[in-house]
Structure 1
Amino acid sequence: MATPGWRLVRGLAIALSLSTFVMSCSGPNANVASPDVTTGSENSQAQQPVSQSISIDGSSTVYLLTDEVVKEYQFEREDEPQITVTFSGTTGGFRKFCAGETDISNASRPINAEEMEACKVSGVQYIELPVAFDALTIVVHPSNTWAESMTVEELKRLWEPAAAGNITTWNQIRPEWPNQPIKLYGAGSDSGTFDYFTEAIVGESGASRSDYTASEDDTVLASGVMNDPNGLGYFGYAYFEEAQTKLKAVAIDAGQGPVLPSDEAVINNQYQPLARPLFIYINVRSLQEKSKLAEFVEYYLTNAANLADVVGYVPLSDETYKVVQEHLLERKVGTAFGGKAPSLTLNELLQHEKSF
């Protein structure tokens, strides 16, 4: 497990970067990796065989974990391949992955039926590897003193398509809340978080009001709520944890009382329905052709538990990681979810993987 110091240092760094982002940017900057993510000097890149370079895209939620793995992997090696990590959202990442443009796709939900068909048409076979668990977090501005908790039903009324233009003030959610405008910040339609949230809360994947600030970049959403006293948004727990002095989490009541997002709540199956598994998908052809890719993925799985804790996600059980590593070793192609994104506990994920 990571030490509190690791999280504190990383949290301060991310919070500082978010503040800088707010002051210097007026819009999203998704799809652009930080300068230290694409590795190697110009000379070392020129010497690196193209066949050994590794391209990763997809979820901004999983990006934080994959980026940390890449940095640790490269720090320990002098002959590392060129690894480029970007994020265009889970859906955007699968679009590239199924076209054969990337080697690894980060995903905050399982691959869906349409994407499975796209990969099949393109001849792209893949290995599905769960790497951590996330507590999808509802946040408000720290000055918000009223929205300490919300029920799943209240979230549904707020985010369902019929709410657009109709549910626009806080007191429309609860009469005792202030008659002030509510400003919403949420995942863009290319985000796996958007798919998961709409299915878990609204009851149908992709069903959402459209009159909100949308982005596939969780940093944009976090920055928006930080600077909006009437803001409410949702995104991965790691982005909240790393800037929690400037954001406030809302406890979620699914019928058993309000529960705040935390490692313990996820482990004890209390944070439902917003606890979700995170994945990486590996292109089988790339794995066959690039020896460095196989080495990198093995490193990823070996270190996923510790580094998931470092960035703010919940590690899977040792038994689950063992099963996942066996899937990689056996080159087990396909998905355990049949194109659906069910709400799962940690133990239910393990059972899915063992029966796959």
Structure 2
Amino acid sequence: MKKTSLRIMVSTLAITMMAGVFAGCGNKDGGEVKNNTSNNAAQTQKLSGTVQADGSSTVGPITEAMAEEFVKDYPDVQIPVAISGTGGGFKRFVVGETDVQNASRPIKEEEKKKAAENGVEMTEFKVAYDGITICVSKENTFVDTLTVAELNKMWAPDSTVKTWKDIRPEWPADPIKFYTPGPDSGTFEFFTEAINKKSKAMRPDVNPSEDDNTLVQGVGGDKNAIGFFGFSYYEANKDKLKAVKIDTGTGAVEPSLNTIKDGSYKPLSRPIFVYVNNKSFGKPEVKEFVKFYLENAAEIVPEIGEVALPEAEYKEQLNKIK
């Protein structure tokens, strides 16, 4: 698989993966990811059905990339990947509507309870690390670093910040336009917990969207805009965005694959997940897709712009598959 094609996938939000025939086993060779499963060609052609996935816009591009490669080996399998946000996806998952839930935060206790009430048991798989990235436009020449206290001052529910000058007196008195993921987004919840110390606590005058590409366009097109989203969306749009460093009191740290991986990008580094309905493991197409996901994540995840786990962790999680 070529890196450029994976970058394009970050801009694709809800698609049904189409057919394509692909053979071979092993790791990446000649720029393409190959299936590591032990099925022979005859078995490959017999697998069919649909794997329903929904949830996070951060994890969605990873699942889409996996699906695109998987259907090359299994052309009769369809994998529509919907993007309704982590919270929106869990609403469907806990009532048994989907097989795979993409999640940029762990499942909540109330969601677990709802799942239990509906007889839905699940398995959690950690698939990558992400860093929520605060961005301004490339045309913004003065914002380079923000402290956690300044971020809270800007984004708190009772914030009185209207212009850049309200944050630092040497900055211009131009009005700020705020962009955020929608309230069903796990990214939104994680950010508000980390910065405002309460889930979903946010100033009321933001421009929300569950479509991260809408946020990218809004921030990138306005020198007085600021917003936040998953690291992969920044990586794919560096031509129009500038990442803001965060200073927790020990120096400014820029989000990068290395600082997210080593945990120094605080407080916005986080693990991201997929959850699988245990009943769905009874469907061969779901079981094989999850195996494929874990077997190829170490290679595909970095090409999407996220941080892969050590390969041994993916292999260990294969033991969770029922």
**Same fold per TM (> 0.5)?**
yes
Matched, 1:197 2:191: yes
CA contact (8 A) 1:14 1:242 kept: no
The within-5 A match list for 1:31-180 is: 33-34=14-15, 37-40=16-19, 52-78=49-75, 80-163=76-159, 166-180=160-174
| Partner residue of 2:231 out of 211, 234, 237 | 237
C-alpha displacement of 1:204: 1.2
Structure 1 counterpart of 2:96, which letter?
G
Matched, 1:327 2:308: no
Unaligned runs of 5+ in 1: 19-31, 42-47, 332-356
Q: Distance in 2 between matches of 1:247 and 1:75?
A: 34
The within-5 A match list for 1:316-355 is: 316-328=309-321, 331=322
Structure 2 counterpart of 1:218, which letter?
D
Identity %: 43
Change (3 A) 1:77 1:14: closer
1:270 aligns to what?
Answer: 264
CA contact (8 A) 1:124 1:283 kept: yes
Cα deviation digits, residues 264-322 of structure 1 (max 9, x gap):
1122221111111110000011112x011100000000111111011000001123223
2:35 aligns to what?
Answer: none
Q: Please identify which structure carries the higher helix content.
A: 1
Structure 1 counterpart of 2:317, which letter?
V
Unaligned runs of 5+ in 2: 21-44
C-alpha displacement of 1:167: 1.0
Aligned Cα root-mean-square deviation (Å): 2.2
C-alpha displacement of 1:148: 0.3
Q: Distance in 1 between matches of 2:286 and 2:154?
A: 43
CA contact (8 A) 2:125 2:274 kept: yes
Question: Could you tell me the TM-score, scaled by structure 2's length?
Answer: 0.87
1:314 aligns to what?
Answer: 307
Change (3 A) 1:8 1:235: same
Cα deviation digits, residues 191-216 of structure 1 (max 9, x gap):
00011111111111111112110011
**Secondary structure class of the residue paired with 1:61:** coil
**Secondary structure class of the residue paired with 2:218:** helix
Q: Distance in 1 between matches of 2:300 and 2:232?
A: 12
Structure 1 counterpart of 2:258, which letter?
E
Q: Distance in 2 between matches of 1:86 and 1:61?
A: 12
Structure 2 counterpart of 1:39, which letter?
M
Paired positions, count: 298
| Partner residue of 1:182 out of 152, 171, 176 | 176
Q: Distance in 1 between matches of 2:99 and 2:317?
A: 18
